[in-house]
Amino acid sequence: MNHYYIYYRVADDDHETETQVRAMQARLACRSGIAGRLLKRRDDPYTWMEIYENVADSQHFERHLARAVSEFDVEMFLARDARRIVECFSGDLAAPALPSCTTENSLTH
């Protein structure tokens, strides 16, 4: 599976910008079947990240992503000279099994 992490700086961390990006994500989800998440950097709310996980057909997804970004004119909301940076990783997102955390002290209490 492929996992997309798209980050960028917005000009304004405001309701209009967030509404537009979330509407784009909703349209993308309807078309591609991939629901995205939107995160804001903890120490810099002007840096945003969209996350799309478990993408089986990258060509199909990327085509729908480009179309949705264009239709919702998402780049209009970017900070001056900013661009959307797309990173794609592949691999399994399943959480590994946790090791047994039993210690000698916990066995005696």
| Beta pairing, strands 44-55 & 36-41 | antiparallel
Residue 66, token pair as written in the block: 């480009």
Question: 10 Å Cβ neighbour count for 80?
Answer: 6
Beta pairing partners, 38: 50
Report whether 1 contacts 54 (CB < 8 A): yes
pTM over 0.75: yes
pLDDT at 99: 74
Return the closest-CA partner of residue 53 out of 107, 108, 5: 5
User: Are the CB atoms for 39 and 49 separated by under 8 Å?
Assistant: yes
The tens place of each residue's pLDDT in the chain, 109 residues long, gives: 999 999 999 999 999 999 999 999 999 999 999 999 999 999 999 999 999 999 999 999 999 999 999 999 999 999 999 999 999 999 987 666 777 766 665 555 5
How high is the pLDDT of residue 102?
66
Within 8 A by CB and 6+ apart from 48, the residues are: 7, 8, 9, 10, 21, 38, 39, 40, 41
Domains in the chain with CATH codes: 2-94 (3.30.70.100)
